[in-house]
Structure 1
Amino acid sequence: MVQKDYDFSIPQRQPSVAIGIILIKFIRMTVRAMWPLLLSLVIGRKAGSTFDTVILYLVIGFAAFNLIGSILTYFRFYYYLKDNAIVLDKGVLKKTRTNIPFERIQTINFSQNLLHRLFNVVSVEIDTAGASKSEISIDALSKDEADALREYIMAEKEQLISESGSEEEKEISADKSPSELLLHLTPADLLKVGISQNHLRSMGIIFAFVFTTINEITNNIGDFMSDQFSQFESYAMNNSLFAFVVSAILVTVISFLFSLGNSILKYYDLKLWISKKGLKLVRGLLNREEVTINKNKVQMVSWSTNPIRKVFKMYTLQIAQASSSEVNAQKSKINVPGSYKKQISKVINMVFPSEYLGSGDKHFISPVIKFRIVLFYGILPSVLGLTTWFLFDEVAFFSLLALPLSFILGRFYYKKRSYEINEELIRSNGGIVGTENVLTQIHKIQAVKVKQSWYQRRKQLATLKLYTAAGEMVIPYISLSEALQLESFVLYRVQTDKREWM
């Protein structure tokens, strides 16, 4: 039960440390909007320009605005509980009041950055999962107060459900079994996760950052690179193969270290608990997150692997949950790397009816997709590459390697792309180098769309898109008649199923 020290019926402010946290938030927003001016200030002062004085005054003015704004925001912010609802009063120039009934609250999540952890406070986010502009965010509460607030709200919500909820909700609410620690990433597991990350993506991020930074420093990247590496020019010309190998190794090592560091920061000490009510995830080194996932809120569960993770027998588990329209779509997807097959099976059995799992008929897409992949990833790149022979001489003929590569990719994609369906569930399977599986319940589908490109119309093919509150599932290149039958079946099941979709 809630601690006696906290009377949530009385309007109260956040702890005083919230002023600093709000100020940092204001500064970050200002820097994002004003970084070109700040850069001009630095460059202008070096060039001896008098215009930098004006910019300096603007920066000082915005800093003062941020400080005053953060203080006023703190003193105009109150929260309290009243009539089985949480109420939020805030606003500097315009006062607003947000009132959210307990029964509409789906999850109450905590997060901590370094400043939060230093003062033992947490940021609180209350998600209503469905209504726009209904989320409540509290910048800072003491950890004890936040725990007490969450415990009280969820206890009151369970009481309301036991009185007027559906039979399924009552059964879940009445369950008092303790949570089971399903997954804890050890340092060895975290290292495996870092090793098996997408290093090509890390490489792209590094190159984008480096060249963007160089471009801000100088308008002539070519001169910059020439100045830096001129002393190695004669050696590189005579040892081009050696230079290429060394560069490739250097870039690979940097990308690997970047991926590993990012994995440690994001997934350090990751713990996943499971119960009949849902899941709880805690993770992060510098920024610590605590996320609860209501079972009924889960829309889709997916698990994927790649060749390196396959060696470790590891998967990335992704849980896509319903979220409000203003929340970024990626934020509603929770990734749990370093999962094993047994752990994924437990999550799937918790979310979906076990009697329907593995009972669906398997259907493959049209083999025409193989020829489309060869055309767009093999033939066209090869032709375009050969047209540049007058610029690159024999190097242009390397573009022909796209042909055999496209055949291999097409074969792998077709072999893995399929879907399975029964009265309750639909599952999509795919991948090229790795594999990816997505599973959802049919009654949670909110919209169905049958699409045809010009080429598909000629071949009597179609792509089926199934939309849920957390994302979409795509089944490409099936026959038009099959797509229309699936559309009719899914719509019939949605309309005749009386269960709530979250």
Structure 2
Amino acid sequence: MEQNNHDFSIPQRQPSVAIGIILIKFFRMTIRAMWPILVSLIIGRRAGSTFDDIILYVVIGFAAYNLIGSVLTYFRFYYYIKDNAIVLDKGVLKKTRTNIPFERIQTINFSQNLLHRLFNVVSVEIDSAGANKSEISIDALSKDEAIALREYIIAEKEHLISESGTEEEKEISLDRSPSELLLHLTPSDLLKVGVSQNHLRSMGIIFAFVFTTMNELTNDIGDFVSDQFTQFESFAEHNTLFAFVVSAILVTVISFLFSLGNSLLKYYDLKLWMSKNGLKLVRGLLNREEVTINRNKVQMVSWSTNPIRKLFKMYTLQIAQASSSEVNAHKSKINVPGSYKEQLAKVINMVFPSEYLGTEVKHSISPVIKFRIVLFYGVLPSLVALSAWFLIQDTAFYFLLALPLSFFLGQAYHKKRSYEINEELIRSNGGIVGTENVLTQIHKIQAVKVKQSWYQRRKQLATIKLYTAAGEMSIPYIRLSEALQLENFVLYRVQTDKREWM
């Protein structure tokens, strides 16, 4: 079989640069697992510890093992095409053969790190329907060969579908309309995305990393933090306003820079193409990633915004594909920040039947949820703080601010929490400060669960959970009769709809 001057029927290895890439992958795995030992080794040798010589030999042994393993892995790795399937033979001590028929292949994704880009090669991952993870992963292929392989598999798959596929599959496979560049994040868009990120989460990540690292380096982390806090407290007593302003500015700047840097690395030069077959996403600065999103594999589409992003009229679009729970979240759920309303509408219209969009009937949840939020986030914290007044004294009165705050949270949550449904689609709406919306087709739902807490049983309320191959949709605090009616309707639609869920 030949396609674009490449004969894929002959078993072949990866290019020789793959040895270095495999070695680096092994090396990174070793560093992640052993970095505390390496740090203690460096510190110990400076202190003249003889025990650290043993650790050094262990590290050298692991390095030698990685080198030998990389070379053997390279020479025992072959891929080829046979009988309308791609075959992968690999293994050093234990040989395995993976065979994926073309009709089961869902996506073929490329990615590039700095080393890949230096040698003009790509990493290839091939996913199939129902797989727990990428069934075939090739560390390095020349870019031309990888593109030729993908084009060959797609062409052969379309040929098989034209002979034995469903009418919908045939219509999609025969579509030759060119891909439309739907979204391209410009530098100004990227800056807006960075500015509107969750900076509190960024600060939490930084603190978690710092304290984890310090805990690995010293056993006296508690004493160290206590000493530093005592020094800061002593300074703040004499410079209260200055300390507060400086701390607030420092925290804001650090979290902003972290969020901006993370956005730059992850979403640099992001491009989203759309065709009738699905979507293709390319993104990344250091690690360039190309992800194909098959339309039939999409289970849920969600979009969200926050007050800052709303000022920019932007949304974060998330496309959830069918996957196992073992699949990494970043591979099963594709985030596209910086999407505008027109682009969001095009994606929704591409995935879901347009004649059903906008016809959903809206239902609100029970107002009882407001009182539950006030109770758990306002009343109880205030009572606990006041009961401990003899320990924290006047500070306890600050906890009374939780009461009006919890009232606001309850009102906002109830106002935005609702669901909409028609014969084809179901949509969940939510949020407190921002808004979150999730949309899926009813025939793609795989399980329904109606749950009741002891409080909900007293009030004849329930929470219903709808499970798809990409995750779940939850609708809390609706009437029990309404939940049972919704459960019966969804199960009826799933059983009577003959379409495939993927």
- Percent identity of equivalent pairs: 86
Larger CA deviation: 20-29 vs 440-449 = 20-29
Q: d(CA) in 2 for partners of 1:201 and 1:258? A: 10
Structure 1 partner of 2:108: 108
Structure 2 partner of 1:396: 396
SS in 2 for 1:106: strand
Q: d(CA) in 1 for partners of 2:492 and 2:120? A: 52
Aligned CA distance change for structure 1 residues 392 and 496 (closer, same or farther; 3 Å): same
Note if contact 1:448-1:467 (Cα within 8 Å) is conserved in structure 2: yes
Give the deviation of 1:480 after TM superposition: 0.9
Q: d(CA) in 2 for partners of 1:173 and 1:220? A: 63
Q: TM-score, normalised by structure 1?
A: 0.97
Q: Count residues in correspondence.
A: 502
Give the deviation of 1:113 after TM superposition: 0.6
Where structure 2 has 5 or more consecutive residues not aligned to the other structure, the ranges are none
Q: d(CA) in 1 for partners of 2:324 and 2:143? A: 26
Please state if 1:179 is matched with 2:170: no
SS in 1 for 2:338: strand
Q: d(CA) in 1 for partners of 2:234 and 2:487? A: 65
Letter in 1 for 2:368: V
Aligned CA distance change for structure 1 residues 4 and 315 (closer, same or farther; 3 Å): closer
Summarize the alignment of residues 282-301 of structure 1 with structure 2, pairs less than 5 Å apart. Answer: 282-301=282-301
Note if contact 2:132-2:326 (Cα within 8 Å) is conserved in structure 1: yes
Structure 2 partner of 1:118: 118
Q: TM-score, normalised by structure 2?
A: 0.97
Give the deviation of 1:6 after TM superposition: 1.0
Aligned CA distance change for structure 1 residues 13 and 129 (closer, same or farther; 3 Å): same
Structure 1 partner of 2:190: 190
Structure 2 partner of 1:99: 99
Structure 1 partner of 2:130: 130
Give the deviation of 1:223 after TM superposition: 5.3
Aligned CA distance change for structure 1 residues 467 and 234 (closer, same or farther; 3 Å): closer
Structure 2 partner of 1:370: 370
Note if contact 2:2-2:8 (Cα within 8 Å) is conserved in structure 1: no
What does the per-residue CA deviation read over 1:28-71, in whole Å, with 9 as the maximum and x for residues that have no partner?
Answer: 22222223332332343244322111111111111100100010
Summarize the alignment of residues 259-278 of structure 1 with structure 2, pairs less than 5 Å apart. Answer: 259-278=259-278
Letter in 1 for 2:38: L
Note if contact 1:428-1:438 (Cα within 8 Å) is conserved in structure 2: yes
Aligned CA distance change for structure 1 residues 2 and 109 (closer, same or farther; 3 Å): farther
Q: d(CA) in 2 for partners of 1:401 and 1:325? A: 40
Structure 1 partner of 2:65: 65
Give the deviation of 1:221 after TM superposition: 3.9
Give the deviation of 1:490 after TM superposition: 0.6
What does the per-residue CA deviation read over 1:93-137, in whole Å, with 9 as the maximum and x for residues that have no partner?
Answer: 011100000000000000011111111111000010313466110
Larger CA deviation: 203-212 vs 61-70 = 203-212
Structure 2 partner of 1:216: 216
Note if contact 1:98-1:134 (Cα within 8 Å) is conserved in structure 2: no
Note if contact 2:300-2:438 (Cα within 8 Å) is conserved in structure 1: yes
Structure 2 partner of 1:201: 201
Note if contact 1:303-1:318 (Cα within 8 Å) is conserved in structure 2: yes
Q: d(CA) in 1 for partners of 2:187 and 2:9? A: 44
Structure 1 partner of 2:493: 493
Letter in 1 for 2:318: Q
Note if contact 2:3-2:152 (Cα within 8 Å) is conserved in structure 1: no
Give the deviation of 1:23 after TM superposition: 0.7
Q: d(CA) in 2 for partners of 1:211 and 1:154? A: 49
What does the per-residue CA deviation read over 1:64-91, in whole Å, with 9 as the maximum and x for residues that have no partner?
Answer: 0010001000000000001100000000
Structure 1 partner of 2:459: 459
SS in 2 for 1:433: coil
Structure 2 partner of 1:167: 167
SS in 1 for 2:44: helix
Q: d(CA) in 2 for partners of 1:413 and 1:19? A: 54
Summarize the alignment of residues 73-92 of structure 1 with structure 2, pairs less than 5 Å apart. Answer: 73-92=73-92
Larger CA deviation: 217-226 vs 173-182 = 217-226
Please state if 1:246 is matched with 2:246: yes
Structure 2 partner of 1:16: 16
